[in-house]
Amino acid sequence: MAYWRWGDVQAQHVVVCVHGLTRQGRDFDRLAQAMVLTSPVPVQIICPDVAGRGQSEWLQNPALYQIPQYAADMLALLGQIQATLGLDRPIQALDWVGTSMGGLIGMVLAGQPGLPLPVPIRKLVLNDVGPAITWSSLQRMQSYVGQYGQYPNLDQLAAALWDLSQGFGPVLPEVWREMSSHMARPASDGLMTLHYDPAIGVPLRALTPEVASAGESAMWALYDQIQAKTLLIRGGQSDLLTAQTALNMTQRGPKAQLETWPDCGHAPTLSAEQQMAVVTSFLWGN
């Protein structure tokens, strides 16, 4: 599993930023740099490419492209980060920023006290995701995940991605082009295609409403055990995280602090100055 590291490699305060279903760790370039610049203490930001995405290897068994495997991978990654610090420099603070799928992974790790984390997650940012995910949004993802072609240049690839990404909200064209450049890999005949294994959609398309409902119950049970101080960001136009689910998340479990951004759907990129300021203020505040 590849990851991108920003900040002080010896810092004992670690922030892990994990991307959404079809994205990759470079989505957080701007946010990671803002975190490093604004943190009152030395900090290192770890932005992994979840298995099957970005620079990480593809899994031989598509059935493993699911949250339990990703959570286990993150535990292994954190163990490696701790090993690089050494036994005399233990991780002292651990924060988590998760967009969509990355937020689900964060809930799994924060909601199980017995897991071998270096330290419990201190602060948790959930970007447009909660224990309950609407069936209509899952059906939308089933229709496009892994269904991609080849493109003659980056501009056309970026345009194709934007057609699927209107919910991200306002993004400056130059920022979107930069983000899209990390979403490409070489294809045949000099063309380019998307970075991820099409097979990540296999478990998703196997979901039924009954299986999704059972998963929702399990995720609420985990959410109710979270002790980390939690910030929930909701795109006001989100089709994945409903206003009612967001409200419920402020009333149970960690009683998340809710920020609703009306000009976004699923899911904000966390790349605009005001978006990054909300996240950094939450992480570095009391």
CB atoms within 10 A of CB 72: 14
As a whole number, mean pLDDT of residues 107-121 equals 96
Q: What is the pLDDT of residues 59-97, one digit of tens each?
A: 999 999 999 999 999 999 999 999 999 989 999 999 999
Burial of 78 (0-12, 13-18, 19+ CB in 10 A): buried
Are the CB atoms for 258 and 234 separated by under 8 Å? yes
Q: What is the pLDDT of residues 244-277, one digit of tens each?
A: 999 999 999 999 999 999 999 999 999 999 999 9
Are the CB atoms for 259 and 145 separated by under 8 Å? no
The predicted pLDDT at position 275 comes to 97
The C-alpha atoms of residue 247 and residue 224 are separated, in whole angstroms, by 14
Are the CB atoms for 203 and 66 separated by under 8 Å? yes
Are the CB atoms for 283 and 15 separated by under 8 Å? yes
Mean pLDDT (the chain, rounded): 96
Side-chain-side CA neighbours of 56 within 13 Å: the count stands at 27
The DSSP result for the chain, as a single string, is: --EEEEE-TT-SEEEEEE--TT--GGGGHHHHHHHHHH-SS--EEEEE--TTSTTSPPPS-GGG-SHHHHHHHHHHHHHHHHHHH-TTS---EEEEEEETHHHHHHHHHHT-TTS--SS---EEEEES--S---HHHHHHHHHHTT---EESSHHHHHHHHHHH-GGG----HHHHHHHHHTTEEE-GGG-EEESS-GGGHHHHHT--HHHHHHHHHHHHHHHTT--SEEEEEEETT-SSS-HHHHHHHHHSTT-PEEEEETT--S---S-SHHHHHHHHHHHH--
Domains of the chain, start order: 3-284 (3.40.50.1820)
The predicted pLDDT at position 53 comes to 98
The single-letter code of the amino acid at 167 is: G
Q: Which residues pair with 123 in a beta bridge?
A: 95, 229
As a whole number, mean pLDDT of residues 180-189 equals 94
The C-alpha atoms of residue 182 and residue 160 are separated, in whole angstroms, by 14
Strands 13-18 and 93-99: parallel
Q: What is the pLDDT of residues 4-60, one digit of tens each?
A: 999 999 999 999 999 999 999 999 999 999 999 999 999 999 999 999 999 999 999
